[in-house]
Structure 1
Amino acid sequence: MNDQELSRKVPRSPVGLMTRVYKFILPEVAAELDQWRRDAEQIPDEELRKQALASIETKQFHCQGGAVYAAASLPDKHILIPLIVAYQTISDYLDNLCDRSTSLDPVDFRQLHQSMLDAVTPGTKPADYYAYRSEKEDGGYLGRLVQTCRDCISQLSGYEAAKPYIRDLAELYIDLQVYKHIHPEKREAALLEWWSQQAHRTPHLRWNEFAAATGSTLGVFMLFLAATDPFLDEQDASSIHASYFPNVCSLHIMLDYLIDQDEDRLGGDLNFCNYYEDADTMLNRIASIVEWARKDVTAIPSTPFHRMIIEGLLALYLSDPKVSEQQLVRSVSKRLMKRSPMTRLFFFVNSRWIRKHKNE
């Protein structure tokens, strides 16, 4: 088998996957983020500049994790890595803007997040994303992120089949961002009302677990990868969507919230792990979501790759330094890691190594 054929094959082993991550994914993600950092430094408005730079500085592992999907198709990494990094950077920038916002206006939040729909819907006219807020002068930063996504998407030959499913996930993501950032006294009621309209889609999940599922970008990234296939059809795209949403996506964000509990308490931010009766219930529910996610990905090709994604999520979050600083989280983490398969332990060690050497 020649190098070209080998690079097209989806990695089936943790060693094969991490070899690609170290050799291709991490350096190219770093190069993309450097470019966006330089762009963000030129933003005229001080507050927008501050939040754009902070999102790149503190959330780069979101882009590193998301870009792992490019490791499944190395010949397309020149499309997938810039696309995933740009889309995730929009998400992280807007999350910072809304979390530390000078506004609590749902209309403002929805208008800002229209950029995430525009990014995945080439051909539409981009909106004025800052129309409802006082800080407006970003020097075209958000618009360039949107355009980068569109330029990359135009090179995905199977995109038409994936597009409705990507838009569905983007619309759910936007709803979540609007409801979770409004006035603290109104958040829970808005989220519960939204869930009452959507619960039929995920009857096995509690409202906080459904909301978590809508906050993940992994389903979108998997569909970007699938769209590199010119023969992708509607049935394939639907199957991929169903394999990732809700369980893989919910696991991703519940783990994110698990390690952020202290941080969110200090910042007055909503945290979906705070809605369980006790630590045992939280542990059991997250463990159940892990099993549902593992079962779901058996329905799509390259199951070993998707299983590695699930083990990698657990390893990435449970190896975070924040875990050791929180007694409850440390205890839940130990129990989730107990009797871990070797794959998870392998990714756990690698996640720690990547964090330790992130600025080298």
Structure 2
Amino acid sequence: MSYVEQGRYQVPRGPIGLMSRMYKHVLPETKQQLSNWKSKAEQIPDPELRSQALASIAEKTFHCVGGAVYAAANMSARQTLIPLIVAYQTISDYLDNLCDRSTSMNPDDFRLLHQSMLDAINPAAKPVNYYELRREQEDDGYLTGLVTTCQSCVSRLPGYEAAMPYVQDLAGLYTDLQVYKHIKPELREQALLDWWSLHKDRTPELRWNEFAAATGSTLGVFMLFLAASDQHLTDAGAASIHASYFPHVCSLHILLDYLIDQDEDRKGGDLNFCNYYKDADMMLDRIAYVVNRARADIADVPASSFHRMIIEGLLALYLSDPKVSEQQDVRAVSRRLMKNSPLMRLFFLLNSRWIRRLI
């Protein structure tokens, strides 16, 4: 019997209950955590590292707010889950900024930076100098502080021993992706294709860009953190959660993220997985396919209504983003994806717009 079936904590049954917890507890506590990390980022001596750390918090706050929704499913553990999710997502966003606007194009540098994400989920790991292979060095312990915060939090999750191998699998894929997508532009696509060839048997129904998108999501990791907040989590339960989120829920998350970032990535010369569809119609068809597969994957898992809210919330969150209205093709795809939306998605869309005003 899984952690949810045993009723060890009360998952919100519907959108109103979920958003009530978000507004009352999760959102203010997430903002406080981000404020604490912002204060630490402001003390970073190196101007480049300081700039990217502050920019990642200012521009990607919604990533932490969205991830912290998993803490709303176990309010008694939120004082561990919220700091953990915020710290882990902040590492992800900070390193993404460092690599996107990097002063280095060295894949070994990118891999060493992302070793911090692997160390963060292993309480026994000893932090190292993650900046060793780049010019910028002095961050006054900012990245190491994020790592040790995660380590402290996961060590307090009573079911983490069962979850850890599955968290490590997802974090390892995420690290590989970040290395290959940030190397020299002329090498990226072939490196990603070669990497996909090693893993495509895991997701035979997905195209290479859709698999890559799945590896770029932190949602599966956050769901495993939530599951690990119950001491009765088993290996079979953790495996089931991993399978219910990877690849389709995770792929949907990042495809939507890339959908709205197409103009921004084009201007920045950044790789965008939505650019590998021949036209907007194919992109819409494939995203719709991934949506349907994601719904099917979570249909039979315990507390499936919570995971359905996650999927509808993802669609609402990204399709309500102000970037959508600025891009004609994206606006057209968004309208078609939102057509005949269930009331739940519309409810989350309105709440997403409101939360953006609060953060």
Who is 2:49 aligned against?
Answer: 48
TM-score w.r.t. the length of structure 1 is: 0.97
Secondary structure of 2:128's aligned partner: coil
> 2:81 maps to which residue?
80
Distance in 2, matches of 1:229 and 1:357, equals 31
2:315 corresponds in structure 1 to 314
Indicate if the aligned counterparts of 1:161 and 1:237 stay in contact, CA closer than 8 A. yes
* Distance (Å, rounded) in 2 between the aligned partners of 1:64 and 1:51: 19
- 2:69 corresponds in structure 1 to 68
Q: Is the contact between residue 45 and residue 138 of structure 2 (CA under 8 Å) also seen in structure 1? A: yes
Displacement of 1:127 after TM fit?
2.1
Of 124-133 and 81-90, deviating more is 124-133
The 2-side partners of 1:79 and 1:104 are apart by 36
SS at match of 1:219: helix
Counterpart position of 1:30 = 31
Matches within 5 A, 1:83-98: 83-98=84-99
3-state DSSP of counterpart to 1:181: coil
1:126 maps to amino acid: P
Unaligned runs of 5+ in 1: 1-5
Q: Match of 1:246?
A: 247
Per-residue deviation, 1:216: 0.2
- Secondary structure of 2:299 counterpart: helix
After the TM superposition, which segments of 4 or more aligned residues of structure 1 sit over 6 Å from their partners?
Answer: none
Native 8 Å contact 2:8 2:230 kept in 1: no
Q: Secondary structure at the match of 1:8?
A: coil
Cα RMSD (Å) of the superposition?
Answer: 1.0
Corresponding residue number in structure 1 for 2:266: 265
Instruction: Deviation per CA, 1:169-213: give whole Å up to 9, x if none.
Output: 000000000000000000000000000110000000000000000
Q: More deviation in 121-130 or 9-18? A: 121-130
Query: For each residue in 1:65-102, what CA deviation from the matched residue of structure 2 results, as whole angstroms up to 9, or x when unmatched?
Result: 00000000000000000000000000000000000000
In structure 1, C-alpha distance between the alignment counterparts of 2:128 and 2:117, rounded to whole Å = 11
| Counterparts of 1:236 and 1:206, CA distance in 2 | 28
| Residues 239 and 299, structure 1, Cα contact 8 Å, conserved in 2 | no
Higher relative contact order, chain-length normalized (CA < 8 Å, sep 6+):
2
One-letter code aligned to 2:294? A
Tell me, in whole angstroms, the C-alpha distance in 1 between the residues paired with 2:300 and 2:212: 24
User: Following TM superposition, by how much is the alpha carbon of 1:299 offset from its aligned partner in structure 2, in angstroms?
Assistant: 3.2
1:254-287 per-residue CA deviation (whole Å, 9 max, x = no partner) reads 0000000000000000000000011100000000
Percent of aligned positions that are identical = 70
The CA distance in 2 between the partners of 1:65 and 1:282, in whole Å, is 24
Listed as ranges, the gaps of 5+ residues in structure 2 are: 1-6
Q: Deviations over 1:117-145 (max 9, x none)?
A: 00001112222201100001011000000
What letter matches 2:15 in structure 1? P
Q: CA shift at 1:7, angstroms?
A: 11
Aligned pairs, how many? 353
Which whole-Å CA distance do the structure 1 matches of 2:279 and 2:357 have between them? 33
TM-score by length of 2: 0.97
SS at match of 1:299: coil
Mapped partners of 1:273, 1:13: distance in 2:
32
User: How much does 1:300 deviate?
Assistant: 1.8
